[in-house]
Amino acid sequence: MASKYNCILLFGAPGSGKGLQGKILNSIPGLFHCSMGDVFRSLDKNSELGKAFVQYSSVGKLVPDELTLKIWADFMEKQVNAGRFNPAEDMVVFDGFPRTVDQAVTMQEQVRILKILHLNCADQNILIKRIQGRALIEKRTDDAKTDVIRNRMEVYERETSPVLKQFLSNQVVTIDASLTPMEVLSCILQVLVSLKK
């Protein structure tokens, strides 16, 4: 992909609602949702990459940066080639990417980040309850065990939350993730509409 394409980041701890909001936003023409977790889960479980993903995610660890960045670049290229995403016109809504400072640095060589929407939740117990609830529905092995969830929360604090410091404060919009899905959506849409003006 030659020139930089526009994107916004849905940023927040596991269970903060990034995936739910991303899926809704994906149905709006001109927006393209890319969930890094979904990209990983769509890998063939018997392939080398698929096995590597399960090895890390099942214990709540992040997939190493080099692998993540390669899978991300390949995925985006495939979407362009398949005509699902038009870099000249569409805006990508990234969810779960970048999750480390190094990912953020490399990513910014290729994309133009217009806003970071930080879905912030002061009460970690709310997030843990949501994750355990979806484990039953989505059959995600990394969601079912409390110690794995706790580990993901710690990894978020240690490795992902420093990514926010990479951006100017006026690039980051903080949204209360404990609000209802509709209220969170409304906050996000306000930001997106103001970007279009």
Q: Which of 9, 4, 6 is nearest to 173 (CA)?
A: 9
Identify the bridge partners of residue 95 per DSSP, sorted by sequence position: 10, 35
Of residues 78 and 190, the one with the C-beta less far from ligand ADP: 78
- Asked if 21 touches ligand ADP (CB under 6 A), the answer is no
Of residues 24 and 36, the one with the C-beta less far from ligand ADP: 36
- Residue pair 124/181 in contact (Cβ under 8 Å)? The answer is no
- Asked if 96 touches ligand ADP (CB under 6 A), the answer is yes
- Asked if 63 touches ligand ADP (CB under 6 A), the answer is yes
Element (H, E) at 75: helix 65-81
CA distance 61 to 23: 24
Closest residue to ligand ADP in the complex (CB): 37
CA distance 44 to 51: 8
Q: How far is the CB of 119 from ligand ADP (least distance, A)?
A: 10
Q: How far is the CB of 98 from ligand ADP (least distance, A)?
A: 6
List of residues contacting ligand ADP (CB under 6 A): 14, 19, 36-37, 40, 56-57, 61-63, 68, 96-99, 103, 142, 152
